[in-house]
Amino acid sequence: MSSLAAARADNFYYPPEWTPKKGSLNKFNGQHALRERARKIDQGILIIRFEMPFNIWCGGCESMIAKGVRFNAEKKQVGNYYSTKIWSFSMKSACCRHEIVIQTDPKNCEYVITSGARRKTEEYEAEDAETLVLPVEEDRSKLADPFYRLEHQEEDIKKKKEAEPRLVRLQKVSDARHSDDYALNKALRARLRGQKKRVAEEETAAKKMGLGFRLLPASKEDAAAASRIKFAHKFDRNRKDKRALIHASSIFSDSSSGSSQRLELEAKRRKINASGASKLLVGGFKPSSWTQGVATSSNHRRM
């Protein structure tokens, strides 16, 4: 059955009741060779697949239809330009089912929107787009003059001679760069393998450090920024506090009295620091003679 269905799909299946006198299979089946595409062939209309030649604005909903969008369009002849036929394409927009009609313009080798839409205006500078500006009708008519053409031909030859050395040099560089495809491919693959290896090593090092992400490679800027950071301020302050506690404690007292005295001195020092900081915040307070006296008394007691 599958082979029979394929034969019917390709129009190669001849039923038993067919005879050569009945003509072709299409005539025997009462259908056109183009099937559904030719359902309006009696009106001179053929269904084709039409591709939008430029960007347009839909006349029904003002939506943009981009260049290259395809439609099922009805194609028919609407006139002639000398011996060239003028074709019309009617289609329905997908956004709002609005009818759009586009015709060919053989005179200007262009498409023209007849109804249902308007062309999107896109202006640009030829230098920015790196394109050549085609001569307009006025320049074309001037080129018909032999003297005008000769004058511009000499200018073009002069520009060619000036640009020829640079073009030859660029061509040599391009040929040297793309001469050996195997070597270029080999170098590119080697670079990619080295990059993958480096990334794997960095990920392994990050896992050993207990990090869940890969660190970037070290740079000179990072080293310079790290060298400017100093962490010794807090360490020096803690070391001075510990030495002050050691000097304030007595070496002749027992361990219990020494520990209690150390805790008492630590509490006094914290109270003095807290009161001094609060006075400084309120009125710019400076250490008074009372704090100096406390320090002196502690030194005498240590003596």
Alpha carbon of residue 246 to chain centroid: 66
pLDDT in tens, the chain (303 residues): 456 665 555 667 778 888 888 878 777 777 777 777 888 888 888 999 999 999 999 988 889 999 999 999 999 999 999 999 999 999 999 888 899 999 999 998 899 999 999 999 877 777 777 777 666 666 666 777 777 777 778 888 888 888 888 888 888 877 777 777 788 788 889 999 999 998 888 888 888 888 878 877 778 888 888 888 776 566 677 777 778 877 777 666 554 455 666 677 777 777 766 665 555 444 444 444 444 444 444 444 444
Sign of CA dihedral 23, 26, 27, 28: positive
Instruction: Output the pTM of the full model.
Output: 0.40
Phi, psi for 272 (deg, rounded to 5): -65, -45
- Answer whether 86's CB lies under 8 Å from 78's CB: yes
Token pair recorded at residue 79: 């006139």
- Answer whether 96's CB lies under 8 Å from 63's CB: yes
